[in-house]
Amino acid sequence: MVIGSASSGHRAPLLIRGGRVIDPANGLDAVADVLLRDGLVGEVGRGPDGRGLTAPQGARTIDAAGLVVTPGLVDLHTHLREPGFEDKETIRSGTLAAVAGGFTSVCCMPNTEPTLDTAAAIQFVQRTARAAGVARVYPIGAITRGRKGRELAELAELAEAGAVAFSDDGDCVMDGAVMRHALEYSLIVRRAVVQHAEDTSLSAGGVMNEGPVAARLGLPGWPRQAEEVIVARDLQLAELTGAHLHVAHASTAGTVDLLRQARGRGVYVTAEVTPHHLTLTEDLVAGHWWSATASLPPYDARTKVNPPLRTGDDTAALVAGLKEGVLDCVATDHAPHTATDKRCEYAVAAFGIANLETTLGSVLSLVHEGKLDLVEAVATMTCRPAAVFNLPGGTLSPGAPADVTLFDPEREWNVDPHHFHSKGKNTPLAGHFLRGQVLFTVTGGEVAFER
Amino acid sequence: MRRKDVLDLDDFSAEELHEVMETAEAMREVLSRPIKRVPPLRGKTIVNCFYEASTRTRVSFELAGKNLSADVVNVGASGSSVEKGESLVDTTRTLQALGADMVVMRHPHAGAPYLVARELSAAVINAGDGWHAHPTQALLDLFTVRDRLGSLEGRKVVIIGDVLHSRVARSNIWAFTTMGAQVVLCGPPTLIPAGIETAVAEGRRRRWGDGIQSGVQKEHAAVKVQYDLDKACQDADVLMALRIQKERQAGALFPSLREYSRLYGLTQERVARAKFGALVMHPGPMNEGIEIMPEVAYGAQSVIEEQVTNGVAVRMALLYLLAGGHGGRAV
């Protein structure tokens, strides 16, 4: 299958009937039919007589009664690991995981080997993704050569090759002058500079949130201030340069406050938050020691992620920030690792959670708890992220790419990583029940995933 | 003792601590005999797995096992498969396959013995993991204090120095507060872990519920932080100096050993501020003249050598109880 070429008219039309269609960009939340043809959204509605759209000849029909039908989900922060770490994930396995989780578009991070800091590397990812033909992959180019934080990568050439943004994710651009210059230079191509905010002199060696739990476990702490000082600095630099700063994986209440203030004075800043920072806390690292209901043992490295899980006050502030719009969107920070990378001493284990297949369920848990409404939740994974990097998709407007996700918001399922399409089985949610599961994912008018 | 492993003392009740203490007294009696060897662990194999250099703890465990007639095998990180890059989980499976009955583990990373204990049907005793815990050191400290001062109820125990990087301090906090003592942590703010007071209060609440276990007065069983050693020493029953690692200076955690010693060195003057007959302790090895002055270390109030001697008895008690022995004078 070839994704995204609007001219490929040989594909059979697809009619999705009778679902609850939520298209936040168009203010739509109603039972309706969605007709996809020629790789694009054709029509959304109930037809002239209100009895539904008519299926064109040769169309496949999906009965979506009882399901929620949304634009295909968009992820701004995915680690596909290829090239270089194919034991953790490949572009193919990662995009299969994406569609299994309802994501039709993923932006992949450049911390591969080699780094995505050349046009050739960007094109390799695009080519491989097209060959896999599962989901749309938008590569993010490195900010600096080799992600070393010193010299700028050829940002204009990366953008011409198709990089949708720039990031040294995994590492922070620590040098203030380099960050300033990256922001300034990004004005040439009008792409966001995505910062992994971590002052490494403050987080030095930290593997979990600094505070009572770390004190008890004897693990080196990663204080919230290590994130916030970089966010504060970068906001000043974004204001100075007028460039677009995007804050990756905001994890603290303080970051939300800084973003709110900066937005108030008109700084061009966007931000994302991960499902784990919205729903999980540092207590999980202490496992069933700290909470009798916890299913994990203490020091389980599946809880190890960068930035680390924080506190209940932080999750509350992050949810509020997402609802308010100070945080633009949810991003998975899908970080697959091998079992060996995680089955070891906590301090030695790799950072990251394989999130693509559980993100929707985690975000829906906020809906079930009454903290977000369903339309807001859908927006944070569709039109809102698409707008951040100005990506196609994220809506069901006629003429938009025919990317659609169908999920049952009530269906309960047990998270069994062995059933993941991702090679990464590393999630602290293993064994948990989530409510809300993807049943169909349509990419470019074709069913890319069907449960 | 109804547990497979001893990984920390945070989950020990006062009753369990008493059981270990009483068994250790019996073991000390064994150690006073002309022939120190008794048979309860005959035919059992203990593997001492030390991933970090240690002399006193390793030798103490080795003697404890041999005194109980166990076969004791030492595995060090150097010369073993660890150097070849074998993972901890693999090493653990090997120990399991070789049929070890008990594994004593010292490891540079916090939590490592927990990983091992989950994989292994043998008993695991934590002999120190990173900055996290050193339960047998805390048990021998508790034994030494109890032996000299009797009840711990309402006693003030001051732990002095680098608490941040100290597994000894973390385990001692649980041991002493569970027995009803108040623990004061005294050191430069850079070497006190953020949130430690909350950690202890919250950890205790979550482990034991809002009610406090029998025999422990709530107001005493707490941890306080104090930066001024002269003040901390007042009314103290126990002064425990921790080893300062000289390399911490490089991380800007304190300006110089000179200033550290001036502020936090245990001197005669400071000992004189404590209660009459207060005990001076140190887990060793000491930097004499830095965290503790020689005249204090070898003075009349010092029980530092007793700590080492008692360590063997306490470890014998623990091995014995974990192997299914019963408390009291059963040996």
What confidence tens digit (pLDDT) does each residue in B78-111 have?
655 555 667 888 888 888 888 899 999 999 999 9
Beta pairing class for B102-107 and B156-160: unpaired
Q: In angstroms, what separates the C-alpha of A28 from chain B's closest C-alpha?
A: 47
In this structure, how many other beta carbons lie within 10 angstroms of the beta carbon of residue B228? Answer: 11
Q: Are strands A14-23 and A60-63 parallel, antiparallel or unpaired?
A: parallel
Is residue B76 in a domain?
yes
Per the structure block, which two tokens stand in for B140?
Answer: 């021998």
Q: Are residues A175 and A151 in contact, defined by beta-carbon separation less than 8 angstroms? A: no
Say yes or no for a CB contact (<8 Å) between A345 and B206.
no
* pLDDT in the model for residue B15: 94
Task: Find out whether B206 and A290 touch, Cβ atoms under 8 Å.
Answer: yes
Residues in chain A: 451
User: Mean per-residue pLDDT for A363-370?
Assistant: 98
Contact (CB<8Å) A346/B110 = yes
Q: Is B327 a domain residue? A: no
Range of the domain at B312: 14-134+308-322
Given A298, A343, A347, which is nearest B114 (Cβ)? A298
Residue A176 reports pLDDT greater than 70: yes
Please report which confidence band the pLDDT of residue A140 belongs to, taking 50, 70 and 90 as the band edges: very high
Same domain, B73 and B177: no
> H or E stretch including A411?
strand A404-414
Per residue in A312-343, pLDDT tens?
999 999 999 999 999 999 999 999 999 999 99
Higher per-residue confidence, A287 vs A355 = A355
Chain A closest CA to B16's CA: distance in Å?
A: 18
Q: Judging by DSSP bridges, how do beta strands B102-107 and B123-129 pair with one another?
A: parallel
B144 and B97 in a common domain? no
CA-closest candidate to residue B107, choices B78, B83, B140, B77:
B77
**For residues B278 and B302, what is the distance between their CA atoms, to the nearest angstrom?**
9
Percent over 70 (pLDDT), chain B: 92
Instruction: Using CA coordinates, name the residue in chain B closest to A289.
Output: B207
With contact defined as beta carbons under 8 Å apart, do B75 and B48 qualify? yes
- Given an 8 Å threshold on Cβ–Cβ distance, is B114 in contact with A218? no
Q: CB A219 to CB B194 under 8 A?
A: no
| A223-241 tens-digit pLDDT | 999 999 999 999 999 999 9
Closest partner residue to B88 (CB to CB) among A215, A217, A344 is A344
Smallest CA–CA separation between A348 and chain B, in Å?
8
How high is the pLDDT of residue A287? 86
For residue A8, pLDDT beyond 70 = no
Catalytic machinery residues of A: 333
Q: Please check whether residues B139 and B119 belong to one and the same domain.
A: no
The whole-number pLDDT of residue B327 equals 56
| Same domain, yes or no: B127 and B147 | no
Instruction: Please enumerate residues of B whose Cβ is less than 8 A from a Cβ of A.
Output: 10-11, 87-89, 107, 109-112, 114-115, 118, 129-133, 167, 170, 193-196, 198-200, 202-203, 206-207
Show the beta-strand stretches assigned E in B36-87.
Answer: 45-50, 71-76
- The most distant pair of C-alpha atoms in chain A lies apart, rounded to whole Å, by 68
Q: Cα separations (Å) of A200 from A109, A236, A306, B228? A: 20, 19, 12, 31
Contacts of B112 in chain A (CB under 8 A): 345
- Indicate if the pLDDT at residue B207 is higher than 80: no
The size of the A-B interface in CB pairs under 8 A is 88
Shared-domain flag, residues B141 and B228 = yes
Query: Which site among B49, B87, B109 would you substitute to test the A interface, given the most A Cβ atoms closer than 10 Å to its Cβ?
Result: B109
Search chain A and give the residue with CA nearest B165: A218
Q: By CA distance, what is B204's nearest residue in A?
A: A290
- How do residues B226-263 score in pLDDT, each as one tens digit? 999 999 999 999 999 999 988 778 788 999 999 999 99
pLDDT of residue B96: 84
Contacts of B114 in chain A (CB under 8 A): 297-299
Q: Which amino acid is at B104?
A: V
Q: Which residue has the tokens 């209060």?
A: B201
Region A72-394: CATH code: 3.20.20.140
Is the pLDDT assigned to residue A189 strictly greater than 70? yes
pLDDT of residue A430: 94
Q: What is the number of domains present in chain B?
A: 2
Give the chain A residue nearest B197 (alpha carbons): A212
Which residues are registered as beta bridge partners of B104?
B48, B125
Instruction: Kindly determine whether residue B195 and residue A223, on different chains, have CB atoms separated by under 8 Å.
Output: no
The per-residue pLDDT for range B271-324, each reduced to its tens digit, is 999 999 999 999 999 999 999 999 999 999 999 999 999 999 999 999 999 998
pLDDT classification of A1: cutoffs 50, 70, 90: very low
First to last CA, chain B: 15
- Overall average pLDDT of the A357-375 stretch: 98
Which helix (H) or strand (E) is A254 found in, with range? helix A253-264
For A245, the enclosing helix (H) or strand (E) is: strand A245-247
Domain at B225, CATH number: 3.40.50.1370
pLDDT tens digits, one per residue of A397-428: 999 999 999 999 999 999 999 999 999 999 99
Residue B46 sits in the same domain as residue B168: no
Mean pLDDT of A105-109: 98
Q: In 10 A of CB B180, how many CB atoms?
A: 21
Q: Is B269 helix (H, G, I), strand (E, B) or coil?
A: helix
Indicate if B121 and B155 belong to the same structural domain: no
Task: Look at B195 and A215 and tell me if their CB atoms are within 8 Å.
Answer: yes
Alpha-carbon distance B331 to B329, whole Å? Answer: 6
Same domain, yes or no, for B107 and B197?
A: no
Partner-chain contact A290 B107, CB within 8 Å: no
3-state secondary structure of A443: strand
Q: Domain residues of chain A, as ranges? A: 72-394
Q: How many CB atoms lie within 10 A of CB A168?
A: 29
Contacts of A297 in chain B (CB under 8 A): 114, 118
For residue B133, give the chain A residue with the closest CA: A218
The residues pairing with A32 across neighbouring beta strands, listed in sequence order, are A19
Same domain (yes/no): B259, B317 = no
Residues of chain A with a CB closer than 8 angstroms to some CB in chain B = 210-221, 223, 289-292, 297-299, 340, 343-348
**Are B148 and B283 found together in one domain?**
yes
